[in-house]
Structures are given as structure tokens and as C-alpha cells.
Amino acid sequence: MKRAVLLLLMLGMSPAQAGTEKPPSAGYVKWQEECGSCHVAYPPHMLSPENWQSLMGGLDKHFGSNAVLDTRDNKKILDFLKRFAGSGEKYAASSLRISDTPWFRREHRSIAAKEWTNPDVRSRSNCSACHGKNVLGS
Ligand code: HEC
Ligand code: HEC
């Protein structure tokens, strides 16, 4: 199995969603590198194309961090994210947080408030605390 496909499976994405490209696109590779350095590389299908566009347009003020990229890398990553983005209201949030989308809230509705504030979790954005490093959604 190609390494890219394996990585996508570990992220809980089906190859049909993003990994059928051979070889993996420059956008995919950049996304892994740049967007996986501070947190897990949040999968494209979990947010709408409009939300990715806004997020990639504001990387200088990225949730209190500076995650700015040069223009070419930004475009490569944005193209990749939009190509495999989720569609519809349930993958959209004005905060640009996956963890605020209707989809996320529904999937996690059984989780008690105290789980989110557990010192080992701290933030709903900290997917890997509960899902492991490479098994988002699987
Ligand atoms: C310099 C570190 C850094 C880099 C690089 C970075 N981020 Fe982030 N990102 C953060 C921080 C900090 C948060 C807020 C985490 C929290 O609230 O616990 C965040 C949150 C997010 C969220 C919202 C998570 C949620 O709650 O659903 C998304 C989506 C996101 N980042 C996407 C990206 C993408 C796409 C890239 C690559 C272009 C990227 N990040 C690169 C630091 C970074
Ligand atoms: C406090 C722990 C916790 C955090 C943090 C968390 N999740 Fe979950 N997540 C769960 C649990 C538990 C379930 C199963 C809920 C159920 O079946 O009722 C779940 C379900 C899911 C599912 C549905 C498929 C499955 O595995 O059951 C996906 C996809 C998912 N989470 C992705 C994410 C993403 C992406 C993030 C970060 C933005 C995240 N989760 C953060 C605990 C967490």
C-alpha cells in the first residue's frame, strides 16, 4: 500500500476521499507538514470550502497563533483542502472550528461536560487526546 493511502486511513479518511492521487499532490504533502506541526492535521472533509478559505486567509491570527505561510504554499494547501472539503451546513462554523460544527456536536453529544475539561484533554480541539495520534475518526 502506498504510504499516502496508509496515512489517510490512519486519519480516518477513506482513500476515495483524498488518497487516490498517485503520487500525492504537493498540496497534500504541504498540508501534512505545515498543518500537522502544532496539532493533528485536521482532515479536509470536516470543514466547508468557505471555512477553509477564511481560515487560510487569516493564518497570521490563527486562534492566537501565527501560522503564516508563503503565498505559494498557502495556495497549494488551500486547493487541497477545498477539493476534499465537506459540504453543507453541518460542516460549517463561523468560528472556523471543526469542534463548533453541527456535525462535531452531534457526533460528540454523548460526551459529558467534565470530559472536555479533563486536564488530559483541556480543549475539544485536542482530538488526539481521545482518538490517538493517527486515528482520527476511526
Ligand atoms: C504555530 C502553530 C499552528 C500551526 C502551524 C497551525 N495551527 Fe491550527 N491551530 C493552532 C492553535 C493554537 C489552535 C487552537 C487550538 C485550541 O483551541 O485548543 C489551532 C486550531 C485550528 C483549527 C480549529 C480546531 C477546532 O477546534 O476545531 C483548525 C481547523 C486549524 N487549526 C487548522 C490549521 C491548518 C489548516 C493549518 C495549516 C495551514 C494549521 N492549523 C496550522 C496552531 C497552529
Ligand atoms: C473528550 C474526548 C474527545 C475529543 C477531545 C474529541 N473526540 Fe471525537 N469522539 C469521542 C468519542 C467518545 C466519540 C464516540 C461518541 C459516541 O459514539 O457517542 C467520538 C466520535 C468521533 C467521530 C465519529 C466516529 C467515531 O470515531 O466514533 C469522529 C469522526 C470524531 N470523534 C472526530 C473528532 C475530531 C476531529 C476531534 C477534534 C477536533 C475530536 N473528535 C475530539 C471523543 C473525543
Asked whether residue 17 is assigned to any structural domain, the reply reads yes
pTM: 0.88
Asked whether residue 137 is assigned to any structural domain, the reply reads no
Grid coordinates 482532515 are at which residue? Answer: 43
Contact 32, 7 (CB under 8 A): yes
What is the number of the ligand closest to the CA of 95?
1
Q: What is the pLDDT of residues 112-124, one digit of tens each?
A: 999 999 999 999 9
Nearest residue (CA) to ligand 1, atom 29: 97
Asked whether residue 121 is assigned to any structural domain, the reply reads yes
Q: What is the pLDDT of residues 30-59, one digit of tens each?
A: 999 999 999 999 999 999 999 999 999 999
Q: Give the chain's domain count.
A: 1
Q: Which amino acid is at 13?
A: M
Asked whether residue 100 is assigned to any structural domain, the reply reads yes
Write down the pLDDT at residue 15.
45
Asked whether residue 89 is assigned to any structural domain, the reply reads yes
Q: Cβ(32) to ligand 1 under 6 A?
A: no
Nearest Cα neighbor of 35 from 8, 79, 69 is 69
- pLDDT interval class at 19 (50, 70, 90): low
Q: Ligand 2 atom closest to Cα of 129?
A: 5
What is the mean pLDDT of the segment spanning 104-109?
96
Asked whether residue 59 is assigned to any structural domain, the reply reads yes
Asked if pLDDT for residue 5 goes beyond 50, the answer is: no
Mean pLDDT of the chain: 86
Write down the pLDDT at residue 2.
45
Q: Cβ(38) to ligand 1 under 6 A?
A: yes
Asked whether residue 138 is assigned to any structural domain, the reply reads no
Write down the pLDDT at residue 132.
81
For 43, the grid coordinates are: 482532515
Domain range holding 9?
3-131
